[in-house]
Amino acid sequence: MTAIDQIQLNFNPASLITLNIVLALVMFGIALDLRLSAFQAVLRSPRAPVIGLFAQFVLLPAFTYLVVRLIEPHPSVALGMMLVAACPGGNLSNFFTHLSGGNTALSVSMTAVSSALAVFFTPFNLAFFSSMYEPTASILREVNLDSLDMFINVLLILGLPLVLGLLVSHRLPKIALVLKKPFRYISLTFFVLFVLAALAANWDNFLSHIHLVAGLVFLHNLVALLSGYGLAFLTKLPAYDRRAITVEVGIQNSGLGLTLIFNFFGGMGGMALIAAWWGIWHIISGLFLSAIWSRTPLPETKEHF
């Protein structure tokens, strides 16, 4: 095992259980604010969400694979990049889309649909792209990754809370109405506090090793943002939708990635550093992009999704 993979983040089994619960609560909170009509809207007007989801689950993983082949980072770092790229949109994407003046309804719908699709696409994309690059393929062989186990893990963390939240929203709309805003804000607050606590507990590790991944995460996040914006621009979506898709693809659920790294890869140092710094950096880049777009008027009339 190389030096970077011997880095041990201060992240014990109790922390992992807490992260799983927090991610599930965030997903449940998002689902409380949804109606089945959000999914029906995707079927009625599929163009924008399909373009966004294509960028999320096809372009970003493919471009990540190309970046890995071009740069040839350390194998565990490369696998961490592939795993983050295989994750769905992050929990804060709806918030940043709103700040950016983008199509928040489209963002919420994409988050819900991508979280549901991630049950299949996250294990599939990780296995598919990492198997085509020998250094990452060898890690998968060593850990004997079971895609079915990963499928079940993602199902429990994202799929089940999404279904339960939708059931409450559909069957008990009055309760959902009372719960949705406080629950979502509280769950997001817990998520942010968890990230800050994890950062504080691993501050020395970050200071000592962040130089190993900071440039790669910056480049990878830029690739993600450009993947969303580029495809939305080339397909001539209105700026209102382009902003939503850019943020949705650029804000990855790195918390899910970190959970999978500790569940299936023993917290491998290179992977963990990539996912952990992604979780911090995409907040910085999301705030920066939101600050720019919030001050930039849309060139055309908003067309609500």
For the stretch 214-225, pLDDT in tens is 899 999 999 999
pLDDT at 186: 79
CB proximity list for 133: less than 8 A, separation 6 or greater: 65, 68, 69, 78
Q: For residue 112, what pLDDT is reported?
A: 81
Report whether CATH 1.20.1530.20 matches the domain 11-294. yes
Answering whether pTM is above 0.75, one says yes
Render pLDDT for 193-215 as a digit per residue (tens, 0 to 9): 777 777 777 777 677 777 888 89
Where exactly are the structural domains of the chain? 11-294
Q: What percent of the chain has pLDDT above 90?
A: 34
Give the Cα separation of 111 and 131 in Å (integer): 27
Average pLDDT, stretch 92-106? 85
Q: How many whole angstroms separate alpha carbon 42 and alpha carbon 65?
A: 29
Q: What is the pLDDT of residue 273?
A: 87
Give residue 26's pLDDT.
79
3-class secondary-structure state, position 252 = strand
Mean pLDDT along residues 32-36: 70
CB-based contact 301:54 (threshold 8 Å): no
% of the chain surpassing 70 pLDDT: 90
Q: How high does pLDDT run on average in the chain? A: 84
pLDDT at 255: 82
Q: What is the pLDDT of residue 7?
A: 62
pLDDT in tens, 108-117: 888 888 888 9
pLDDT in tens, 241-264: 999 999 999 999 888 888 888 888
